[in-house]
Amino acid sequence: MVNYDRLEKKIGYSFKDKDLLKTALTHSSYASEHKMNYELNNERLEFIGDAYLDAVIGHKLFDIMKTSHEGVLSRNRADVVREESLADIARKINLGDYLNLGKGEELNGGRNKDSILSDAFEALLGAVILDSGFGQCEKIVLELFADKIQLAVDGKLNKDYKSRLQEKLQEKYRSVKISYVLTSTSGPDHDKTFNVQVEMDGKVLGSGTGKSKAKAEQAAAKEVLSKGDI
């Protein structure tokens, strides 16, 4: 059995149910390869962790930024919980070392992919919730994200490209409808590539690709920003 002591020490929490922790660290590629039941991969736990992470970070920002309006709070929360930020936290606790990956993902560097690390981190939070409740999970989140929350409050945390594009377009046009449209996907299930285009009021502004829909959206927004004509 895998020894999770170092990981548990990094997050300051010891699981009562180690099977929950194992599930949080099991990628769908591994579960599929080993003919495991769907509930034994980390996607369901990720669903719980994702929702709760948004709530905890949002609540903390609400408490700190007492005079900020909803739009500012939403943008700051997005900066703190974006995929790259979660992957950064995951790397700090060496989460990739403990992942159960299928052979394909292992060969393709899955242990260091932002998408896999961020999803596994959210699943880890979901597992904590099921193991000990929301209070324990909140404690872990606020400890691990303290620096990023403060940077966001100080306006020093890099904004994601989607947020920056949204702000620029709203400054210039005030009322606009921005949407990200998935145009195609390619590749096998364990290594898909997503193609997305960003539109403003139905007009295509740019496009991007990535190993997740979220990364493709960021790439599309980055392309529009790089043109410098908005």
Residues annotated as part of the active site: 50, 122
Question: Rounded to whole angstroms, how far apart are CA atoms 71 and 8?
Answer: 36
The 10 Å Cβ neighbour count of residue 133 is 10
CA–CA dist 76, 29 (Å, integer): 33
Q: Please name every residue paired with 182 in a beta bridge, in sequence order, or none if there are none.
A: 196
3-state secondary structure of 201: coil
Task: Give, in order, the Cα–Cα distances in Å from 95 to each of 114, 118, 165, 211.
Answer: 11, 10, 31, 19
Of 139, 188, 198, 194, the C-alpha closest to 165 is 198
Of 30, 45, 65, residue with least CA distance to 155? 65
| CA dist 221 → 3, 113, 197 (Å) | 42, 20, 9
Number of helices (H), then strands (E), belonging to the chain: the values are 12, 3
